[in-house]
Amino acid sequence: MKFTSLGTAASALALFATALTGTVAAAGTAAAAPPKDCSKAIVNVKAKETVNVRSAPKTSATALGIWGKGKKGGICNDGKSFKGGSYTACGKTSNQWYYGGDKVNGWVPKTCINW
């Protein structure tokens, strides 16, 4: 499981976005993403089913990898979930997402993770 600092990637993304739009999104605005603090992770949690690990908390976001059924991984932010796009997965409908994974970190549907 790989938990790394996202500060450098976030800074690079902000610079890229500024170059494209000429504006900077302020922290705390609706455009700001929820914090992905992997220094406070819950580890050894399992996926109920194989799920896509996504780049954003919505089903249309790019799949970065998969978290296999029964595979152990980690959930960042002390297991706090975040509101995102609505989905139906693992027998339930929800809009709550976790940030974490087993081999790559990203957004996964809350309804598919056991802990």
DSSP string, 12-28: HHHHHHHHHHS--PPTT
User: Among residues 45, 73, 78, 51, which one has the least CA distance to residue 63?
Assistant: 51
The per-residue pLDDT for range 8-56, each reduced to its tens digit, is 344 444 433 433 334 333 333 344 566 778 888 999 999 999 999 999 9
The per-residue pLDDT for range 72-110, each reduced to its tens digit, is 999 999 999 999 999 999 999 999 999 999 999 999 999
pTM of the model: 0.71
Distance CA 65, CA 43 (A): 18
User: Among residues 112, 89, 88, 90, which one has the least CA distance to residue 102?
Assistant: 112
